[in-house]
């Protein structure tokens, strides 16, 4: 399996006071009654090329800005669509007691993709990876490939034990306090203090209602039953360095990732020299390069 290295300092997505102020432009589209998704398009491709389209799906308490570090590498060769998932960024809000589901969030993305009306290469991290897996199991006809960059195959098993504690952290210290407490288990040892502080502030901008609704969803998320039904080309990027002990460690052992990855027909496992769970944030350049190479190979 190929291995990739990356420097850790590229995680910053810029400075902004709120989601709208941090964007040169964004758009919103209705995907179901009462639900609109916001998204950002990055396109630095040659005008005469029919460049592939990549859709990037982020994690809990994030937004399109989580992937800004990917844009310089990816958007020169692909048209890039960075989505705010339901309840995040500038998309429609959710109530903390809404019964969020991966199925409903996948429906949002499916509706957006069908409006676009062309093949789309999906990249998912964390919550976004769960949504990508759901769409792939449905064999969404527009889905050209799937790249997973940081995923827990069974969030209920991995995170369910912390649900009450994490809800308490949000209630007591706000989303930023929860993000700060859980950041070491998310980012490992790759990022310098300034980057850890930035990600803590950035995730702290997320609405408490959204974060609590997502946390309450975790126990309902078991290992997908239909991985063998996936037909789109798939690659899974996995961090292979030994974990550095930290609060709320969220990584799966490589052997466990390999176990479920091999259930996906024809899928590839790509090893990344990292010790973090959130590799899309800690190693954006390497992950973007891996995703781009895969997309271009599929598209050729």
pLDDT digits 0-9 by tens, 157-209: 889 899 999 999 999 999 999 999 999 999 999 999 999 999 999 999 999 99
CB-CB neighbours of 186 under 10 Å: 25
pLDDT digits 0-9 by tens, 101-112: 999 999 999 999
Radius of gyration of the chain (CA): 17
In 3D space, the residue among 101, 179, 109, 188 whose CA is nearest the CA of residue 146 turns out to be 109
Whether 275 contacts 239, CB under 8 Å: yes
Across all residues in the chain, what is the average pLDDT? 92
Residue of higher predicted confidence among 48 and 7:
48
Measured distance between the N- and C-terminal CA atoms of the chain, rounded to whole angstroms? 21
- What gap in Å lies between CA 197 and CA 199, rounded to an integer? 6
pLDDT computed for residue 242 by the predictor: 79
Residue of higher predicted confidence among 101 and 13:
101
pLDDT computed for residue 11 by the predictor: 34
- The alpha-helical segments, DSSP class H, found in 126-207 are 127-137, 155-159, 163-187, 193-204
Give me the domains of the chain, ranges plus CATH numbers: 3-299 (3.40.50.1820)
Whether 82 contacts 54, CB under 8 Å: no
pLDDT computed for residue 112 by the predictor: 98
pLDDT computed for residue 243 by the predictor: 67
In 3D space, the residue among 162, 108, 98, 114 whose CA is nearest the CA of residue 134 turns out to be 108
- Whole-angstrom CA distances from 38 to 42, 83, 197, 259 are 14, 6, 26, 35
pLDDT(297) > 70:
yes
SS3 category, 253: coil
Task: Kindly state the average pLDDT of the residues 219-247.
Answer: 90
Give the global pTM.
Answer: 0.93
The residues facing 60 across adjacent strands are none
Task: Kindly state the average pLDDT of the residues 45-62.
Answer: 98
Residue 219 DSSP class:
G
pLDDT computed for residue 286 by the predictor: 98
pLDDT digits 0-9 by tens, 214-229: 999 999 999 999 999 9
Element (H, E) at 211: helix 208-217
Structure tokens at 111: 């509706």
pLDDT(265) > 70:
yes
């Amino acid at each position: 399996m190929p291995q990739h290295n990356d420097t850790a300092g590229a995680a910053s997505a810029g400075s902004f006071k709120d989601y709208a102020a941090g964007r040169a432009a964004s758009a919103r589209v209705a995907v179901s009654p009462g639900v609109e998704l916001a998204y950002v398009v990055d396109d630095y491709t040659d005008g005469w090329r029919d460049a592939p389209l990549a859709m990037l799906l982020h994690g809990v308490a994030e937004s399109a800005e989580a992937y800004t570090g990917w844009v310089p590498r990816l958007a020169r060769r692909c048209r890039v669509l960075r989505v705010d998932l339901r309840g995040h960024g500038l998309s429609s809000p959710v109530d903390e007691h809404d019964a969020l589901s991966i199925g409903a969030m996948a429906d949002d993305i499916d509706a957006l993709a069908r409006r676009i009306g062309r093949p789309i290469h999906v990249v998912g991290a964390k919550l976004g990876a769960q949504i990508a897996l759901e769409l792939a199991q449905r064999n969404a006809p527009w889905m050209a490939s799937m790249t997973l960059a940081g995923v827990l195959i069974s969030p209920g098993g991995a995170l369910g034990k912390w649900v009450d504690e994490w809800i308490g952290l949000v209630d007591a210290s706000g989303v930023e306090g929860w993000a700060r407490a859980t950041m070491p288990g998310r980012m490992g040892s790759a990022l310098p203090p300034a980057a850890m502080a930035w990600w803590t502030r950035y995730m702290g901008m997320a609405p408490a209602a959204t974060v609590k609704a997502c946390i309450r969803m975790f126990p309902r998320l078991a290992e997908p039953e239909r991985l063998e039904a996936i037909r789109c080309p798939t690659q899974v990027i996995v961090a292979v360095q030994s974990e550095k002990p930290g609060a709320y460690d969220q990584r799966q052992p490589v052997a466990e990732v390999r176990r479920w990855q091999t259930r996906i027909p024809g899928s590839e496992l790509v090893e990344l020299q990292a010790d973090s769970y959130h590799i899309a944030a800690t190693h954006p350049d390497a992950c973007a390069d891996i995703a781009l190479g895969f997309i271009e190979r599929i598209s050729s």
